[in-house]
Amino acid sequence: MPPEIRRGFVVFAGLLAVVAVIWAARMDAIAPADFSLQNGTDPKTLDPHRASGQPESRIIFEIFEGLLRMLPEGEINPETNIQPLTPQPAIAKSYDISEDGKTYTFHLRDDVRWTDGTPVTAHDFAWSWQRMLHPATACEYGYLINEVQYAQQYHKAIVEIGDQVEVELWDRPEETPTSEANVQHFPRGTMLYGTLREIIKPAEPTLPKDATDEQREEAKLDWQEQWVYVVDVANESADGSVDWDGPTQSRKFCVDVAAASSDESIERTHAVMVAFGKIGGAQAVDDLTFVVRLNNAVPYFLNLVAYYPLFPVNRRCIETHGAPLWTRPENIVTNGPFRLKFRRLRDRVRVERNSDHHAADSIALETVDFISLESQNTALNMYETGQLQWIYDPPTAVIEELMKRPDYIGGPKLSVYFYKMNHAKPPLNDVRVRRALSMAVDRTQIVKQVTKAGQQPAFSVVPPGMAGYESAKGLGEDVEKARELLAEAGFPGGRGFPKITLLYNTSETHRPIAEVIQQQWQNNLNVKIELKNMEWGSFTETVQQEEYTIARYGWVGDYPDPNTFLDLWTSDSPQSNLNWDNAEYDSLIRQAGVEQNPKARLKILQRAEQILIDDAALIPIYFYTANHLLKPNVRGFGATLQELHPLQAIYFADDVQSK
């Protein structure tokens, strides 16, 4: 190491030591856990149906468990450190797949218990999948199981004449015995079931020609709430079955309070939706048999089943405490290899080995701390002083030196770093402006001078390495063409271009990247932007509410298939937040969902990605690499493409329970 670099590293380490002493002073009242890891920001929620970020998912994967879970298969490759993970039986001891690939029958273990001692049954899965899909739950991952029969209709509250429907009356509880208002229960009010016979619609509202899209959408929603649904209500037996063919009673229902109040024959309802819980494609045959029926075969369906939004939650716990109160440490009931011990805001979440878990005897770690830690520098020093056994985000200032160490683990990731653009915010509603911004970014400078850990410049959205898939052709870097496009859009030399804001969440990496791109746009296009930082919770809320112009984002593949990087940009995806609507793109994603020829399917997805790129719906920046520091005595940990590291597989080299 050259002397000047060595001196710089020593000074840097000294500063880290000071920070670590201050941090440690906050922690000395707590006995250390067996294994502690950097977890980024504070998790927003521990509800599997409300979470969407990695700080949440790392914990949820450990305290909850699904039919299957992603677990190591085979040995870690000593040359690449890649650890292969596959969906393996967890609560389901086995499963059968029909010849046409449309029906999955899961056979559950009979020794799985919730942490309150009650058994985990197939009914828990049926109820939980329904809760996940219900619009009131606001799960961002409901679209994942669109191919489950009736799932899409239920998630989007779409009904047609002749559908077997559920009706929720307007008697939903809004408070719990804790006296905290606005908690949500599921199911909520009294539920009725029947066949939809008629929808009585009032005249559509007439709006002025200069009405905005927002005004038109609001008027449409108000109009739809005035619809009156005529339902032939059937009888429901004590065991929950519905006599669809038996005697019925015709009743009218409406969401709008004024319409329901003006006619005593109309009953107010929260919603009329397809009866997914009674006729849907995810049903409990008995306590230990769960059957899922798909509209079309899905090649990666088992990976979805092993993903945390499809994990079950405890019905009694949620109905007792409501959401979000049921996730408090004193209330929460879980079923994973670890259980929640305590949570300290802006500090840590501690979990402990679940001694009642069916695989408890093979779990080596007794306690694990997920440290809420965004500072790369603090994380590194806590690692060096033994307070952390694993960090995943070491400082970029010294990453090149860290990569030479034996405790560094790196590798490829199915993940892309990109900028979202809000197409509803001028001038980003002009494709020429979006293309110009994308083509004026020097991605090589970013990965060589800022991130410096082997990241690859990204000109497409789907990362390399997907078997059989060839990514779409990117726009490339072309400053002259970018200037021409900006001039064509009415901003020659950047004149008249409004100042826009680039939003990013707190991180020591996001800001320098934003500063470089800010300078590139200034130098190449004479476009000025301002930078704005937000903590994770406020950042995600701002983006979800589409109150941003440009925002930094990243996406880790939920499963090893190009679809996971493409289906979130459809016009109806809750993950998009782009205000981008392309009918051809939506159609191609739907076509890929039903195409059974693997090669043809990948070609369709490639065409969709090309539309995404050509329309500059977003700006890809680079493809991530994994960058871990891991204590040398830790075993069972390797780089994984999806950044999943099951803690139940981790142990120490000197542990008597080592495998």
Domain ranges of the chain: 3-66+322-405+628-652, 85-321, 410-625
| Centroid of chain to Cα 338 | 21
Task: Work out the pLDDT band at 186, boundaries 50, 70, 90.
Answer: confident
Q: Which tokens belong to 231?
A: 């339902």
CB atoms within 10 A of CB 423: 20
Quick one: what percent of the chain has pLDDT higher than 70? Answer: 93
Q: Which tokens belong to 323?
A: 């959401």
The region of weakest confidence among 114-118, 354-358, 469-473, 557-561 is 557-561
pLDDT over 90 at 30, yes or no: no
* Mean pLDDT, rounded, of the chain: 91
How high is the pLDDT of residue 180?
46
pLDDT over 60 at 579, yes or no: yes
Instruction: Please tell me the distance from the alpha carbon of residue 13 to that of residue 385, in angstroms, as a whole number.
Output: 11
How high is the pLDDT of residue 423?
97
Task: Work out the pLDDT band at 655, boundaries 50, 70, 90.
Answer: low
Give, as one character, the DSSP assignment of residue 71: E
Quick one: what percent of the chain has pLDDT higher than 90? Answer: 77
Rounded to whole angstroms, what are the CA distances from 31 to 169, 279, 369, 386, 652?
50, 51, 11, 13, 19
Task: Work out the pLDDT band at 195, boundaries 50, 70, 90.
Answer: very high
Q: Are 448 and 407 in contact (CB under 8 A)?
A: no
How high is the pLDDT of residue 450?
94
Q: Are 524 and 545 in contact (CB under 8 A)?
A: no
pLDDT tens profile 528-545: 999 999 998 899 999 999
User: Which residue bears the tokens 């710089």?
Assistant: 8
Q: Give residue 596's region: left, alpha or beta (phi > 0; psi -120 to 50).
A: alpha
Q: Are 274 and 267 in contact (CB under 8 A)?
A: no
pTM, to two decimals: 0.86
The C-alpha angle 176, 178, 179, rounded to 5 degrees, equals 75
pLDDT over 80 at 246, yes or no: yes
Give, as one character, the DSSP assignment of residue 119: B
pLDDT tens profile 248-286: 999 999 999 998 999 999 999 999 999 999 999 999 999
Instruction: Please tell me the distance from the alpha carbon of residue 336 to that of residue 355, in angstroms, as a whole number.
Output: 10
pLDDT tens profile 475-524: 999 999 999 999 999 999 999 999 999 999 988 889 999 999 999 999 99
Query: Per-residue pLDDT averaged across 570-593, rounded?
Result: 92
Query: Per-residue pLDDT averaged across 453-477, rounded?
Result: 92
Give, as one character, the DSSP assignment of residue 262: H
pLDDT tens profile 277-336: 999 999 999 999 999 999 999 999 999 999 999 999 999 999 999 989 999 999 999 999
Q: Are 32 and 353 in contact (CB under 8 A)?
A: no
Q: Are 295 and 151 in contact (CB under 8 A)?
A: no
Instruction: Please tell me the distance from the alpha carbon of residue 24 to that of residue 572, in angstroms, as a whole number.
Output: 46
Q: Which tokens belong to 569?
A: 């940009």
Query: Per-residue pLDDT averaged across 607-628, rounded?
Result: 96
CATH for 410-625 is 3.10.105.10
How high is the pLDDT of residue 515?
96
The values of phi and psi at residue 490, to 5°, are 100, 15
pLDDT tens profile 196-230: 999 999 999 888 888 887 888 899 999 999 999 99
pLDDT tens profile 380-429: 999 999 999 999 999 988 999 999 999 999 988 899 999 999 999 999 99
Task: Work out the pLDDT band at 654, boundaries 50, 70, 90.
Answer: confident
Instruction: Please tell me the distance from the alpha carbon of residue 150 to that of residue 142, in angstroms, as a whole number.
Output: 12
CATH for 85-321 is 3.90.76.10
Instruction: Please tell me the distance from the alpha carbon of residue 493 to that of residue 487, in angstroms, as a whole number.
Output: 7
CATH 3.40.190.10 fits 3-66+322-405+628-652, yes or no: yes
Cβ-count burial 494-507 (b if 16+ within 10 Å, e if not): beebeebebbbbbb
Per DSSP, the three-state class of 553 is strand
Instruction: Please tell me the distance from the alpha carbon of residue 553 to that of residue 129, in angstroms, as a whole number.
Output: 28
Whose CA is closest to 388, among 405, 371, 401?
371
pLDDT over 60 at 94, yes or no: yes
